[in-house]
Structure 1
Amino acid sequence: MLYVILLAMVAGFLALRLYSVLGKRTGHEQALPKPAEERANVAALPRAVDTQPEPRDVGSRPMEAGAEQGLRQIVQAEPAFDVARFLEGAKAAYRMTLEAFWRGDEAELRELATDDVASAFAASIEARRVSGERLDNRLVTIERATIADARLTGREARITVRFDADIAAVTRDAEDRVIAGSTDDAVETHDVWTFARTLGAPDPNWKLADTDEA
């Protein structure tokens, strides 16, 4: 989205994957922890334009009423931004982040999220370790991804995406016994995630800056 993200490999390739999936053209069990503050990160220096460019496919892509103006401002500041590609990247990032959180991969989460969000994830993962619990979750499907909001403040771009997904959520204890959830039933999940990036920064990656439940 904005150049949002990708399919997993190794931590060393994560940054490159995030960039390519996120919108750059040639863009359950436990609830996810919510950070106390929000920040951002990405892209090539914006080019000056005489007239405001038309966001690619703005108006034909899934978005809520208040998001279009912000998207147009982002495209004006960075004409390479592509709405459709950003949404595809956002869905990939959603899956990668959930799976990294469930398996307790703090290194990958630091690549995908801002410092505040990664720290919140790490605290939740540590609490699971202390309690001896393990998450055995599976993202069954993403039913819908909709841009709920888009803002450009100075050079900081933030895009909020509402995800409607089905998740099979199971919590196991140290003896691998199921103590919560079901292995048979998927639960409807509604999350609101905000991805952020500083336009013109050398790092081209969008990062998860906030999580909430819809």
Structure 2
Amino acid sequence: MFYVVLLAMVAGFLAMRLYSVLGKRTGHEQPLPRAAEERPAQVPIARTVDATPEQRTIANRNIEPRAEPALRSIVAGEPGFDVNQFLEGAQAAYRMTLEAFWKGDADTLATLANDDVRAAFVEAIEARKAAGETLDNRLVTIERAVIADAAVSGRDASITVRFDADIAAITRNEAGEVIAGSLTDAVETHDVWTFARTLKSSDPNWKLADTDEA
């Protein structure tokens, strides 16, 4: 599970990066949704005023049906939220987290994950260091990212994304010798990550709240 996470960057830049790609807010958000009987029965999952039919099809293809009700609640609570943009940001966060974990960059992980997930990553990093091992991994490609589920409880929202990716992985010992893996043979990986955020909070960033394998 822990062989899934990302690249060292300056903390300030990371915050700006995630602000722009994960749950971007426009500064014109409206209050949280009214009671169900006071609002329209259906709220568009993604902003479609300027979207082409093809863009809307892409959004639908990348969302599993069970996630749609909660996504509508998120959009109703923060009209600036856009599903397609979130998925692009989730893929960027996936790459950044993987690379930071592989490099043992705990500070970067703190900007991307909540305290529990970061602590688990750090524990795995320390165990790796104690064994005298280093990772020489590379995320070759993300084949697909799909919103598999979503949930809203009060103002607490979470979105679960399934990533299908190819990763080339090598483990080296203290002498730099390869003891596992190969950079020439990418391995198919299927990860399920959950991002969470408190809607309408002052922090606009979605943080990694859970990781699992599909």
Q: Tell me the residue number matched to 1:155.
A: 155
What is the CA–CA distance in structure 2 between the aligned matches of 1:125 and 1:209, rounded to whole Å? 18
What is the CA–CA distance in structure 2 between the aligned matches of 1:13 and 1:178, rounded to whole Å? 33
TM superposition outliers: structure 1 runs of 4+ over 4 Å: 47-50
* AA at the equivalent of 1:89: G
Structural RMSD (CA): 2.0
Aligned residue for 1:60, secondary structure, equals helix
What is the CA–CA distance in structure 2 between the aligned matches of 1:17 and 1:115, rounded to whole Å? 20
Runs of 5+ consecutive residues of structure 1 not aligned to the other structure: 1-6, 27-43
What is the CA–CA distance in structure 2 between the aligned matches of 1:186 and 1:164, rounded to whole Å? 12
What is the CA–CA distance in structure 2 between the aligned matches of 1:88 and 1:184, rounded to whole Å? 27
Q: Tell me the residue number matched to 1:21.
A: 21
| 2:39 corresponds to which of 37, 40, 51 | 51
Identity score, percent = 67
| Aligned positions of 1:84-163 closer than 5 A | 84-163=84-163
Runs of 5+ consecutive residues of structure 2 not aligned to the other structure: 1-6, 47-55
Tell me how far 1:8 sits from its aligned partner: 6.6
- The alignment covers a number of residue pairs equal to 192
Q: Tell me the residue number matched to 2:198.
A: 198
What is the CA–CA distance in structure 1 between the aligned matches of 2:8 and 2:128, rounded to whole Å? 23
* AA at the equivalent of 1:24: K
Q: Tell me the residue number matched to 2:49.
A: none
| Aligned positions of 1:46-85 closer than 5 A | 46-47=31-32, 51-52=39-40, 53-56=43-46, 57=56, 60-85=60-85
Q: Note the alpha carbon deviations across 1:19-63, whole angstroms, 9 max, x for none.
A: 11114254xxxxxxxxxxxxxxxxx67455663432214862401
* AA at the equivalent of 1:67: A
What is the CA–CA distance in structure 2 between the aligned matches of 1:48 and 1:131, rounded to whole Å? 51
Q: CA contact under 8 A between 1:101 and 1:109: conserved in structure 2?
A: yes
Q: Tell me the residue number matched to 2:50.
A: none
The structure having more radius of gyration, on CA atoms, is 2
Q: CA contact under 8 A between 1:25 and 1:82: conserved in structure 2?
A: no
Decide which structure has greater helix share.
Answer: 2
Q: TM-score, normalised by structure 1?
A: 0.84
Q: TM-score, normalised by structure 2?
A: 0.84
Residues 1:83 and 1:63: Cα distance change in structure 2 (over 3 Å): same
Q: CA contact under 8 A between 1:45 and 1:199: conserved in structure 2?
A: no
